[in-house]
Every structure is written in structure tokens, then in C-alpha cells.
Amino acid sequence: MGDDKLHFVLLPFMAQGHAIPMIDIAKLLASRSGTTVTLLLTPLNHIRVKPILSRSSQLGAHIHVEELHFPAEEVGLPAGYENIDLLPSTSLIDKFWFAANMIQSQVETLLKKMMFPKQSCCLVADMSFIFAAEVSQKLGIPRIFFNGMNCFASLCIHHILTCSNILDTVSGEFEYFDVPGMPHKISFTESQVKAGMATPGNKEWREAMEKLMGNESTAYGVIFNTFEDLEHVYIRHYENVRHRKIWSIGPISMFDKELAHNNAIIRGQTSSVDATQCLKCNQVAC
């Protein structure tokens, strides 16, 4: 690499569960010497994270931001609907996802402006952006695929939807079936799968999932917000079946040493569940 600084360009999806860990990853990368980090955000999502980015800068981890226009009105959504948590109904998620994948030309333009020298630039794109593979291939820069789920859930999706037709063999919505190919015996009902995987019987959704998995297969590697001690078996199994390099860097929120003192709004909208209550529930479960 010589004297060239590594430049990581992060593209988070516009939903809190996707964006919050990506912001933490940006802070982690920016804290390392010799790196430049740029976040691609829409104006509203930029405003939301400005306090935490300012605090990060004060601590010496500088993160640049380039803004993207979110084409809400182009798909029939009201202007300003730039995050999934602003949608009045889950029935609009499809339109939102379609709008999010209409920003390809903007991303390409910004990357062309920033990728000098090209060899030191890397795109870290959320799994929801289907166009990311095409952009990185067109510009000749490496791409890392961010998967906000854990390896266990991702393996289930792979074995149920990508490499088997197991759901076609299930006769009833509440009949249990064993997930093929898993390292342990895992059983679900079709109703549980539908609840967790957003109506997998929907043809358009299946096609989107196929594109998503194909998008992953051409990436340089995959970042999971998980950790080895929790999912060692599933991480290794995922690497073997997907033939991908995996970085398990989670829980990424632990990188934020000041998290205990931060207002929840800094990291996103106010949670409907109190953190103390979550800890109480975990203690009861244990």
C-alpha cells in the first residue's frame, strides 16, 4: 500500500437495526491510525447521528459524511420518509426498499470522486443494497458485505430458502420440519419461518433473497455483528457452505466505551423496552 491511507466508505441501510451497528463500525475503523472513513447518509439520517459523530471526532476518530438524496417521492412515499421507523405502516416497506435501491447512480458518482488511489478504497455496504455488487465490480474496488443478523439465522435462511425446497414438503402451517444441512438438529414450523423471514412464499421476496445471497457471494468477505464464543460452530459452518471470509466483530456496541452514559436518542430512536428490564429478563432466563 505504500503511504496510501486505507479509505473505507460505509453505506448503511436506512433502518435503525442496520444503521446503528454500521455507525459503530465506522467509529471502530476511524479509531485506527492510517484510515479514512466516509459514511454515505441521507440528510435526515445524518442529522440523527451528528451528535455521536461529533463526540467521536472529539475523541480523535474523525468520520466524513457525504449526503445522498433519498427518492421517497419517486416511489409514492411522502418527502422526508428517510428511515423505516418513520413509515406509518409496514405495508410500505417494499416501496421503501425499492427507493433505497434507486440511489445507485449517486453512490457511483461519490465513489468515483473519492476513490483515489483506487487500490486503497473499500466499500462496506449493507446487505440490503442489491446494487452494491455491480457498483464495486464496475469501479474495480473491493466490497465487504455487512450482515446485521447472526450466523445462525443466516444459516437457516441459506438452508431453507437458498439450497433446498423444504417448505414445499411441509403439509401444514404448524407442522414442524428439520432444517436440512445444519450442524445441529433445528426444527421450525412454516408459520415460524414466515414470521421470521417475511413471507418466504412471496415470489418477489424469494427473488430478492436470491439476489441478496448472490450479492454476498461476490464480496471480498462478510462482517457479522456476532462473536466467536457465541457462534463458533455456526461461523465455521457458514464459511464452509458460503465459501466466504467472515469477520465476527461483535457485539460492536461494546466498542463504545461511553455507551452507558449516552442518551439512547444519540444511537437512534427511544427504545420501547428499558435496558434494565432486558437485563432482568436475561437473569430470569438464566
Give the residue numbers marked as catalytic.
18, 126
**DSSP string for 200-215:** TT-HHHHHHHHHHHHH
How far is Cα 240 from Cα 107, in angstroms, rounded to an integer? 32
Name the helix (H) or strand (E) containing 223: strand 221-224
3-state secondary structure (DSSP) of residue 192: helix
The distance from CA 279 to its chain's CA centroid, rounded to whole angstroms, is 25
Type of residue found at 24: D
- Name the helix (H) or strand (E) containing 280: helix 275-285
Give the burial string for 237-262 (b: 16+ CB within 10 Å, else e).
bbeeebebebebbbebeeebeeeeee
Which of 44, 14, 38 lies closest to 26, judged by CA? 38
Residue 178: its H or E element: strand 176-178
Residue tagged 486503497 (cell numbers): 120
Please, what's the b/e burial string for 153-174 (b: 16 or more CB within 10 A of its CB; e: otherwise)?
ebbbbbbbbeeeebbeeeeeee
